[in-house]
Every structure is written in C-alpha cells, then in structure tokens.
C-alpha cells in the first residue's frame, strides 16, 4: 500500500508525543497527505496543529491502520475508543511498551490484525531501530506496511516470537539510556583528569557518536574495530584491561543491566 492509498483509506494515530510526532513527521515527509491522517491526542502541540492533519475529529469507519502510541498507563482508557474498528480489516500497530498482543485482542477482538513494535528514542532523529511481531491475523502485506511506516524513523527488524520482545526492550528499547549514561560518566572522568566540563562533554559526545557511526558502517565486527584501535601495551589496552575485567567490567555489568531491564519488561507485560 503506497502513501496515496494509505491516505485515502486513512491512518489513525492514537497519541502524538515525542515518538508519535517523530513518526508523523517522517510519514508526511514521505508524501502522506495530512488530510488522510487522524490524530487523537488530549493536548495537541502547536507543531501538530500546524501539520494540517485532523485532530480529535470523527474517525473514518474503517481506517487502513491505527498506530497506538500512548503511554502504557493510558492504554486502559484509550483503547476502548477504537474497539469499534476491531475484528475487521483495520491493522493495529502498537509502539507502547509492556502491552501484549493478547491484551489488545481482549479489547479489540480476537480476529483483529495486530502488530506489536518496540522502537527506541533515536527515532526522534531518524536513527531508531524497531522490532516488530504480528499475531496470526496480521498478513504479509500488513507486516510490510508496518515495516514501511516504521522505517520512516530508522531500521526495522522482525522477531520470531513475541517472547523476544522483552529482550529487545532490555537491549535496544532501554539501550539509549545506557549510552547516555556512558557519555555522562566518560565526561565526568575526563573532567577529573583536568579537562573543563564543556570540553570533556564535547569530547565524550563526539567519541560515542563517531564510534557508533563507524561500528554501523564498517565491514569489520565491533570486536575487530576494538582490536584495530588497541596498540599492544598502549593507552587503550590499559583502559580495556579495566573495562573487560570479567568480574567488574562491561561483560558482567551490562549482562546484569540488560537482564534487569528484560525481567522488568516481563513483569510489566504480566500487568
């Protein structure tokens, strides 16, 4: 389904916060007609009002797709509003963490095509990555549509089972916060070694951003890139002996961190 056909049938966006706004901006840039978009949001921003989309208006009877982008705690109040278009051809795509496909089926009807997605916050600058999984009623064309829409804000991968979504949440969903904290701590350590706060932060930001871009674009694995920059008995090796310590370094620390996030995601999904 191209953007013209999608605009004709209608796209409904439930919630237009940071993630919803990033997606909507990407779709409009790709040619989706504002007249074919309905947004439900209790506090529409000035940016949203200026896009020309229909805000809190009467919805089409059978929209092509509904994107659910509200916070998990708002789901109970928001979903029943859309129950009338469940059990039909309308595809529901949720980018809300912690709400299972089974929960959507309870509210919308067991025959509803549903795709669950987990994007992350770099979507705000078009550099996110989203993982998707659909229920039995989400066909190949609908999976392709969801992937195309989510690709407006970054990469998209498909999961084999919904159970993998908790690990995705722990790794890439929560992962940007780990990197932001890495930047914080690198800058603080640089400041402790005599750099000014502003310079230390600039160096830490650029180093992490540049290394991430290189890791994504290079043919070598991250392990090989690490080896490439590590001279025997040099400064990098001295640092890596601390960071790669099996008990106190990154291997143990990040394993415990991602495990904790994954387990918390499982708890939230169980309600």
pLDDT, tens digit (0-9, with 9 covering 90-100), for 153-190 = 999 999 999 999 999 999 999 999 999 999 999 999 99
CATH label, 175-270, candidates 2.40.50.140, 1.10.3730.10, 1.10.645.10, 3.40.190.10: 1.10.3730.10
CATH topology of domain 3-164: Rossmann fold (3.40.50)
For the stretch 134-145, pLDDT in tens is 999 999 999 999
Structure confidence at residue 2 (pLDDT): 77
SS3 38: strand
Concatenating the DSSP letter of every residue in 181-201 gives: HHHHHHHHHHHHTT--HHHHH
CA-to-CA distance for 8 and 72, rounded, in angstroms? 29
Structure confidence at residue 4 (pLDDT): 77
Spell out the alpha helix ranges (H) of 218-249: 222-229, 235-243
The stretch 52-75 carries a mean pLDDT of: 90
Structure confidence at residue 161 (pLDDT): 97
Structure confidence at residue 69 (pLDDT): 93
SS3 222: helix
For the stretch 206-261, pLDDT in tens is 999 999 999 999 999 999 999 999 999 999 999 999 999 999 999 999 999 999 99
Domain with CATH 1.10.3730.10 in the chain: 175-270
As a whole number of Å, the end-to-end CA separation of the chain is 35
Rounded to two decimals, the pTM is: 0.91
């Amino acid at each position: 389904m191209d953007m013209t056909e999608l605009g004709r049938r209608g796209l409904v966006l439930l919630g237009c916060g940071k993630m919803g706004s990033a997606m909507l901006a990407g779709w409009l840039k790709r040619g989706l007609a504002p007249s074919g978009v309905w947004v439900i949001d209790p506090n529409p921003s000035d940016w949203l009002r200026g896009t020309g989309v229909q805000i809190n208006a009467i919805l089409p009877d059978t929209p092509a797709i509904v994107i659910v982008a509200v916070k998990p705690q708002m789901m109970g109040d928001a979903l029943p509003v859309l129950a009338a278009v469940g059990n039909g051809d309308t595809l529901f795509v949720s980018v809300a963490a912690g709400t299972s496909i089974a929960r959507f089926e309870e509210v919308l009807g067991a025959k509803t095509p549903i795709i669950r997605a987990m994007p992350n916050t770099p979507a705000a600058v078009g550099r996110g990555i989203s993982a998707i999984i659909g229920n039995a009623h989400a066909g190949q064309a609908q999976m392709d549509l969801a992937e195309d829409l989510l690709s407006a804000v970054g990469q998209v991968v498909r999961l084999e089972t919904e159970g993998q979504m908790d690990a995705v949440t722990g790794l890439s969903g929560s992962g940007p916060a780990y990197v932001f904290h890495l930047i914080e701590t690198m800058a603080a350590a640089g400041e402790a070694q005599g750099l000014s706060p502003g310079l230390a932060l600039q160096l830490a930001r650029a180093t992490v951003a540049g290394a991430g871009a290189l890791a994504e674009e290079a043919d070598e694995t991250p392990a090989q890139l690490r080896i490439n920059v590590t001279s025997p008995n040099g400064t990098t090796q001295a640092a890596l002996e601390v960071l790669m310590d099996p008990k106190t370094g990154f291997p143990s620390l990040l394993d415990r961190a991602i495990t904790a996030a994954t387990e918390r995601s499982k708890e939230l999904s169980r309600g």
